[in-house]
Amino acid sequence: MEEFFLKNPPPSGFNETIAKVREFLEYHNKEGRKVALVTSGGTTVPLEKNTVRYLDNFSGGGRGSASSEYFIEQGYAVIFLFRRHSLQPYSRYFLQKTKETQNNFLEFLTKNPQTGSVEVMAEHKKEVGPILDKYKDVQERKMLLKVPFVSIHEYLHYLHGFSQAMAICSKRAIIFAAAAVSDYFIPTQDMVEHKIQSSSGVLHLTFQPVPKMLGHLTSNWSPQAFVVSFKLETDPSLLESKARGSLASYGHHLVVANLLSNHKDYVVLYSKRGESVPIMRTPEEIQQDVDIEKKLVEAVVKQHNLFLQ
């Protein structure tokens, strides 16, 4: 892992961002508040130093953004480390993607013909008002700090720096690693400088495995924090063994296991004590579009409280 950081430089403004995170953590630590670092969205794998092309994955940040809101409802201050342009807490309600379309916030607005002022359309005021109230309250109480990333290189540098900074919160810190982290990458020194030219013919690329960070997270970077990781599979026969294997290998506290086919409706929470807790949306909750993350965060907080005791 150290070799990765030596050979892949941190993003621009890294030290300033770490300073903001430390200030945020110090403020909430003085308040005696629990803090959650929530990672969200997918990491890209650049193919060039001056990046034009990259590899990506399907994650749009729905789970991380929703979970952040529910951690705040449970009294946690949240550092939201998110993929740039992915879904974010509160604004996600107006940008949710469906199979058919993607909402646009402009569709909620109208212009008053008498005054010329921009207003929320009457039929959307009941929807927008409560969300705006929640967001303003969160801002006033300084409960949410958002930091964007794009590439796997940026993500690992930020995760490393943020988790080390969270040592100030000791066991009151949760690291909720919901981001879809790339499994392979091209080291910076192996990338070409400029855009790969299509005229070069067949393209051959060699990828290296991304260093496994969970072991470092629990043993070195933030050993007192309560660490929750995620395991997504497409083969149901692999899911439980992969989740339990991850717990055994890396020493973190919980794994949220889910299948791609129904990840919005059903997850299983595995603990290092050997327990497994299924969490699911009822047919009524699916029809009403209730977030499964509400139940998920409640279950995680319950386990965190047991950990604190």
In this predicted model, what pLDDT tens digit does every residue of 2-23 receive, in sequence order? 788 888 889 999 999 999 999 9
Distance CA 213, CA 205 (A): 24
Residue keyed to tokens 């949240």: 78
Distance CA 29, CA 245 (A): 34
Residue 260 pLDDT greater than 60, yes or no: yes
- Give the DSSP letter string of 261-285: GGTTTEEEEEETTS-EEEEE--HHH
Range of the domain at 97: 2-224
Residue 103: predicted pLDDT: 67
Of 274 and 145, the one with more pLDDT: 145
What's the CATH code of the domain at 44?
3.40.50.10300
* Whether the Cβ atoms of residue 89 and residue 69 lie closer than 8 Å to each other: yes
pLDDT bucket at 102, cuts 50 / 70 / 90: low
User: What's the angle, vertex CA 109, arms to CA 104 and CA 112, rounded to 5?
Assistant: 160
Residue 273 pLDDT greater than 90, yes or no: no
Reduced to 3 states (helix: H, G, I; strand: E, B; else coil), residue 212 is coil
Domain count for the chain? 1
Residue 274 resides in a domain: no
Prediction pTM value:
0.92
Which spans in the chain are helix H? 2-7, 14-30, 62-73, 125-140, 152-165, 214-216, 236-250, 283-287, 292-308
Residue 98: predicted pLDDT: 47
Would you state the structure tokens that stand for residue 18, as one six-digit string?
């770490």
- Give the DSSP letter string of 131-188: HHHHHHHHHHTT-EEEEEE-BHHHHHHHHHHHHHHGGGGGGGEEEEE-SB--SEE--G
Distance CA 268, CA 238 (A): 13
Residue 143 resides in a domain: yes
Residue 237: predicted pLDDT: 94
Share of the chain above pLDDT 70, in %: 97
Give the mean pLDDT of the chain: 92
Of 113 and 99, the one with more pLDDT: 113
Of 144 and 188, the one with more pLDDT: 144
CB within 8 Å of 142: residues ≥ 6 apart = 24, 27, 28, 77
Residue 36: predicted pLDDT: 98
pLDDT bucket at 161, cuts 50 / 70 / 90: very high
Residue 267 resides in a domain: no
* Whether the Cβ atoms of residue 181 and residue 210 lie closer than 8 Å to each other: yes
Residue 198: predicted pLDDT: 85
Residue 95 resides in a domain: yes
Residue 7: predicted pLDDT: 82
Q: What is the CA radius of gyration of the chain?
A: 21
Give the β-pairing of 118-120 and 109-111. antiparallel
Distance CA 73, CA 291 (A): 14
Residues found in the chain = 309
Q: For residue 12, what is the enclosing H or E element?
A: none
User: Residues 135, 136, 137, 139: is their CA dihedral positive or negative?
Assistant: positive
Residue 100: predicted pLDDT: 47
For residues 196-204, give the mean pLDDT.
87
Would you state the structure tokens that stand for residue 295, as one six-digit string?
């139940």
Would you state the structure tokens that stand for residue 61, as one six-digit string?
């940040």
Q: Provide the 8-state DSSP code for 190.
A: G
For residues 160-180, give the mean pLDDT.
96
Residue 3: predicted pLDDT: 82
Residue 174 resides in a domain: yes
Residue 274: predicted pLDDT: 86
Q: Provide the 8-state DSSP code for 11.
A: P
